[in-house]
Structure 1
Amino acid sequence: MIELNPTHDPARRSWVESANLPDSHFPIQNLPFGAFERGEEVRTGVAIGEQIVDLHALAQARLVEGDAAVACNAALGSTLNEVMALEPRVISALRRALSDLLKSDAPGAGRLRELEAGIMPRMSDVSMRLACEIGDYTDFLTSLHHTERHGRFKGLADPLPAAFKSLPIAYHGRASSIRVSGGDVVRPHGQYRDASGNVAFGPAPALDFELELAAFIGRGNGLTQPIPVERALDHVFGYCLLNDWSAKSIQWFEQVLGPFLGKSFHTSVSPWIITEEALAPFRMAAPARAEGDPELLPHLHGDVDRKAGGLRIALDAHLSTASLRERGDAPVRITHTHLSNLYWTFAQMIAHHTSNGCNLRTGDLLGSGTISGADDLSRACLTELTNAGRDPLALPGGETRVALEDGDEIILSARASAPEAVSIGFGECRGRIAPAVKPGGTHGLRRA
């Protein structure tokens, strides 16, 4: 586990005033990485308050040296893959150098402030892009509450799969349709059973969101070389929000080997990667296993993971409808949950994923699965919130929902909080449902 250092100091403040606001997602203790379009060029950067440190411009200004300069020079491409593949100590050196340049009493901050206009654009003046090239995407199923509820909705005699408490269940998702937050999520076409039980093909009638957290792999592992659970987090560069958009009508009809077309049409991720180091103050014990649960097998058990494999992260989902926006009403919070609702830790997911010798690569994305808890508000998808459509979700103005309608927008957010630490956020992960494309037609997509 990463030891705390001066970059985590809760007393540290930045000369970037927007980073010091109580509700800022990106205080100086955070410093997440991302990619953005500036003019005609896509660059990489680090968020601070409402601004971005352009790593390309920072390298040209030669304001950092040593390992920090190595990391900065690795960021000269349009993605962060080269940075993510570096040794953690090199990435940490860049974090420390940036923190020192951005702190309010930084002796070397004068030069950066002189160059602020050229090096630090405002977020409102740029468009965010995917932070890295994602080669593979694996999505897990690690919430016991989510899994049990869906098993009951399907009428299964045993709603929890037999393997659930023995290993982290997952499926191989589609990396090509992962998109950065914002823009349209087009309603997909597919096969499903209609109200009469007949198989139909057309725009999916039951569209849903699923609130997740995801880990980006930094350094990978060689083929045939498993990653031990106690070393698994050394391979995590950082985390983002993930919306595993699901066409439940398609998914529930087709699913035999696992999700396919009901999931592969679109997956949204938040643009900023919150690093493993930034989250060090928010480590907590792994979720407790109930009496009578199977003993953890050796490759999934580690003393450090049991003591500090969890994270103190609260997550929310808000829903905005076309009617709410027309009236000027704010989005409605429909989910409030916590990462502690997961049965498995990210270290266990990685250890199990590689236990057969599977090689993970820099930029691979691992989703947590829907983070649902026991109480009603912690249900992290509409299917659960409505008891599979039996109890419609009531919204202001008399609207109700059993599934997402065209024009509906989902906004995911999350914050890490702990005593004696400055809370850090993940930004937002947004997506708005657009009508299905007519056969043979095109769709004027809103760009993220």
Structure 2
Amino acid sequence: MSKGPSQTPSEPGGLQRRLGVTDAVVIGLGSMVGAGIFASPAPAARAAGSGLLLGLALAAAVAYCNATSSARLAAQYPTSGGTYVYGRERLGAFWGYLAGWAFVVGKTASCAAMALTVGAYVRPGQAHAVAVGAVVAVTAVNCAGVRKSASLTRIIVAVVLAVLAALVVSSSASGAADPARLDIGPDVTFGGVLQAAGLLFFAFAGYARIATLGEEVRDPARTIPRAIPLALGIALVVYAAVAVCALTVLGPSGLATAEAPLSDTARVAGAGWLVPVIRAAAAVAALGSLLALTLGVSRTTLAMARDRHLPAALATIRPGSHTPYRAELLVGAVVALTAALTDVRGAIGFSSFGVLTYYALANVSARTLSPAEGRPARVVPVLGLAGCLVLALALPLSSVITGAAVITAGAAVYGGRRALTRRR
């Protein structure tokens, strides 16, 4: 009996299957438990006030539907590319291309945002220069091989989780913590909760990195469906614990106005010794997120190059490290340029729109699976699609307009190429 793709160690000229469940979970956590947890609570509290936890629950529910759809699809198509591949196989070439385009442009902006976060914490006055240096360093690590990337991400995740655990323990034991601050106040609005969910979803979106590494995961039909919900569940527990601590110590209004919410939480809780540690952890977390994000973007770039939607040269695999080094170098260059020229707020808003578009197409793709292919419960992709559309439209108007324009431009490029091909 011939082995399917999930048992094949590697394809000729392809990537090697080196990652197990633990490695895949760590890479997903490296993307989720990153700068988002250090930065997103404050703007989310400004949007939802004491309804912050409702926004977190809504973001987690949408993320769960997306994760379930992505896991079932990844088990069927264990190759690099994520929803680019799923959309192409289930919906047609155009929708696959559009998903890949949304992912690449959206996550390139995410990479820039993470790099700028590193710069802001390491050297605020030279944030852009530090951001570019961080991108160069991460690109070098990724080009050296995915095993090295997974090992470094494991260390980063362990450090960040330890610091967050120290914050939760210190805050919970503090006299400054008041559980009454968790009560839902009259200032909470439905629109505010939606906006908070959209902001917090940005921090949840890292589980897609696991699916985009499908060609490098051992036994992907079993590994990916296990790794995605595990990574998402761990991230949700961490986010909820940190959000509860920040709300009970600072209160909704204090959290909303905090420049560095977790550092302020530690300071008010009387754990001043944690403040510099948290600042260092924030920079390390953003670096880990940047590492995992660039890894995923380069793999989708590889898949699109294989199908000639991007230059074929980007599909070249380096024999020694078994990495798509040209795709990684290009992604690194574009991210470095973006980080040098943009600000973190604009990058996050644009990224959110692209990511939500990507997951909307993942849910539509999952809806076409048959029971024999492991189709999730019918309601899961339907709720996931609806959630993605609602959260996307709840973003600031400027992000919606810019994101829609870029997605439309990508569709126009695809149509132009098709028309040119037919004329030939």
TM-score range, shorter chain: under 0.3
Q: Give TM-score scaled by structure 1 length.
A: 0.26
Q: Which one has the bigger strand percentage?
A: 1
TM-score calculated relative to the size of structure 2: 0.27
